[in-house]
Amino acid sequence: MSGFYSTRGDKNSVSGPQAVLRGIAPDGGLYTLKDFPKIPPQELVGASFQEISRRVLGAYLEGYTREEIDGCVERAYANKFDVKEIAPLKQVGDKYVLELFHGPTAAFKDVALSVLPQLMRCAMEKEGRSDRILILTATSGDTGSAALTGFADVPGISIVVFYPDKGISPIQRAQMTTMAGENLGVCAITGNFDQAQTGVKRIFTEISPEFCREHGVSLSSANSINIGRLAPQIVYYYSAYLELVRAGRIAMGDKVDFCVPTGNFGDILAGYFALLSGLPVGRLICASNENNVLTDFLATGTYDKNRDFHVTLSPSMDILVSSNLERLLYNALDNDASAVAALMAQLKETGRYILPEQAMARIRERFVGACADDEAALAAIGRVFRETGYVMDPHTAVAWRAAEDCARADVPCVVLSTASPFKFPASVLRGLGAEVPEDAGEQTALLEKLSGEKAPASLAGVLERELRFKDVIDPNDMMQYVLGKAARA
Ligand SMILES: *Cc1c(COP(=O)(O)O)cnc(C)c1O
């Protein structure tokens, strides 16, 4: 049966446009598929990134017409990325690096958040919606700016972003707090990303329908809990694979491993969806920093978030509750929504759950976990630069280390690079063993000099721009804050 089902037990399915508009299911579950569309890579030989996007989004997001998907993809990528391939693949040493950071905010979230506002706008028109949509988003650093950029001045849609006051880089903060656009809101919370995400999820399930009706507003999400975020991420697994075939590195049908710096588990889950659609994916290596809940989960079958939260040099991976894992559990438990709901209830009450061995075995057929702390990531940045001349950001460096741990001699490994090194110049300079200047502008200049690369044009001057958003609130006050925004939206 087609359509999107809640992982927690809606009996009824919704269409692609409905799932995109809602973001999260009314029961708190995530929309996912029971059966996955087959997309044979043989049929996409020679296709551009946009052509692969059209094919993947068309296959996944049932309910949009072909013309609608074509229009969304066209508008999403026209002139927004600084390379025509969108996601170029580079050989670095004995591995490949898939650069996903060539969009307007220099992190991989741009790939999907360029498309999502288009899909949402189109869905509103299809569904004949006259209310406003208020997007709520929790960010560990990069989703915020990518979502704000994607949604800025989109008619009928407003957006509020919550970010942890401590723990994101100065450039990440400035990208959000200086963003222009009448329909934007940005607010810091005195807590970490998990608290921001929990707060947002709670607002979705607790806001009263009367309030929404009265103010003519409905809520949705730009986080990877939205299926409209996930589907565009499947595309670059295909594009990377097809590039390896084109370049003669593999034959069509050969397996390729992918190593993914992981936080909310959205990026790597898209790789699993690609596999379920017929891409010859070998292993999916789940790379974590010191917040290594997922490494432990994959090793032991116990998910346990009762542990210290570490603020690391790879802040976009500082997450203890990886939302999208829920979609993998649903699949590994043979689409048993009540079993998923029970595990999620346990997680909420006790902070942990144990996945039955059979489901765990299924996950382990494909997933392997590895983690690297800040020191290991910095060392990798320096070593890879000395050996190959390639400069990585700290998130990519965590994945590089994990890929080294899990490498197989006979299977090519693609490391997903999720951010430009120029987004984290201080950490990268440390990794390179350079003296780190105090001034952020000087850091960028020094990194340009050492790496021989230009900083992305989109990051230029961001630290000097005028501050527009200064709100800082307690995580417990998020509902209040949103009600105020919604009433004025
Ligand atoms: C968001 C992000 C990640 C983690 O991706 P998930 O889909 O949340 O697992 C990794 N690296 C960077 C730079 C990010 O912005």
Q: Give the Å distances, CA to CA, from 147 to 2, 111, 127, 304.
A: 29, 11, 22, 30
Q: pLDDT tens per residue, the chain (489 residues)?
A: 479 999 999 788 999 999 999 998 989 999 999 999 999 999 999 999 999 999 999 999 999 999 999 999 999 999 899 999 999 999 999 999 999 999 999 999 999 999 999 999 999 999 888 889 999 999 988 899 999 999 998 899 999 999 999 878 888 999 999 999 899 999 999 999 889 989 998 998 888 889 999 989 999 989 888 999 999 999 999 999 999 999 999 999 999 999 999 999 999 999 999 999 999 999 999 999 999 999 999 999 999 999 999 999 999 999 999 999 999 999 999 999 999 999 999 999 999 999 999 999 999 999 999 999 999 999 999 999 999 999 999 999 999 999 999 989 999 999 999 999 999 999 999 999 999 999 988 999 999 999 999 999 888 888 889 999 999 999 999 999 999 888 776
Asked whether 289 and 359 are in contact (CB, 8 A), the reply is: no
Largest CA distance in the chain: 62
In whole angstroms, give the CA distance from residue 137 to residue 185.
10
Query: For strand 281-288 and strand 256-261, is the pairing parallel, antiparallel, or unpaired?
Result: parallel
In whole angstroms, give the CA distance from residue 423 to residue 431.
14
Bridge partner list, 148: none
Cα(215) to centroid(ligand 1), Å: 34
Report which DSSP code applies to 4.
B
Asked whether 87 and 233 are in contact (CB, 8 A), the reply is: no
Q: Is 109 a catalytic residue?
A: yes
CA 266 to ligand 1: nearest atom = 7
> Nearest C-alpha to atom 11 of ligand 1 is from which residue?
418
- DSSP states of 394-459: HHHHHHHHHHHHH--TTS-EEEEE-B-GGGSHHHHHHHHT----SSHHHHHHHHHHHH--PPPGGG
Cβ of residue 395 lying under 6 Å from some atom of ligand 1 = yes
Cβ of residue 261 lying under 6 Å from some atom of ligand 1 = yes
Cβ of residue 109 lying under 6 Å from some atom of ligand 1 = yes
Plot region of 433 (φ>0 → left; ψ -120 to 50 → alpha; else → beta): left
Cβ of residue 291 lying under 6 Å from some atom of ligand 1 = no
Cβ of residue 223 lying under 6 Å from some atom of ligand 1 = no
pTM of this structure: 0.95
Cα(416) to centroid(ligand 1), Å: 10
- Best mutation site among 262, 285, 326, 327 for ligand 1 pocket (most ligand atoms within 8 Å of CB): 262
Q: Give the Å distances, CA to CA, from 467 to 173, 178, 473.
A: 10, 5, 17
